[in-house]
Amino acid sequence: MDPGLLLGELAEEVRTCEKCDLCRSRTKAVPGEGSGRSVVMLVGEAPGGKEDQSGRPFVGAAGRKLEGLLMLAGLSRDDVFITNIVKCRPPENRRPRREEAESCRDYLRREIEALNPSLVVLLGVTALKQFFPSSEISTARGVVVESGGRRYLPTYHPASMIYNRSLEAAVSEDFRELKKLLGR
């Protein structure tokens, strides 16, 4: 089946999901979004306030940072698929709890299966821990890991650059590495 159709059907499921308590406080669930033909998937932590209002991933301040980083890699939002570990905003932007991530795990698995990306960029510690539980972001960032026929590139979450400007050089370096990995 066409990846775009599969992703569209999955997005409809996400929008009506009630698998965990996050559905009670959300405005809108936030399914993954982007090209169904992309070889690059970006995985973040969870929707924030702007995302909760719009139903789209990475549209707030972190999304603007991400768009600038994508430009460093020679990409735009239209070239990638962007998703999160959990699909609903945790209250007060807290980190998702383990049981919340577990509730959404099947959605993420199905997004990956439908898209079958050759490269997954893990944005932040929560995304990293979902795939590589024993890894630490400070040592894993910028190092490509191959697992299950897929490459993973961990880096800091774009929002971290807003709160800690000293991370900007490292994250920018990682997206320049992404450009090299893609042969652009």
* Residue pLDDT, tens place only, 51-105: 999 999 999 999 999 999 999 999 999 999 999 999 999 999 999 999 999 999 9
Residue 1 has what pLDDT? 76
Element (H, E) at 66: helix 61-72
- The domain 3-181 having CATH identifier 3.40.50.1100: the answer here is no
pTM value is 0.96
Say if residue 184's pLDDT is above 90: no
* Residue pLDDT, tens place only, 34-46: 999 999 999 999 9
Q: Which amino acid is at 16?
A: T
Q: Which amino acid is at 136?
A: E
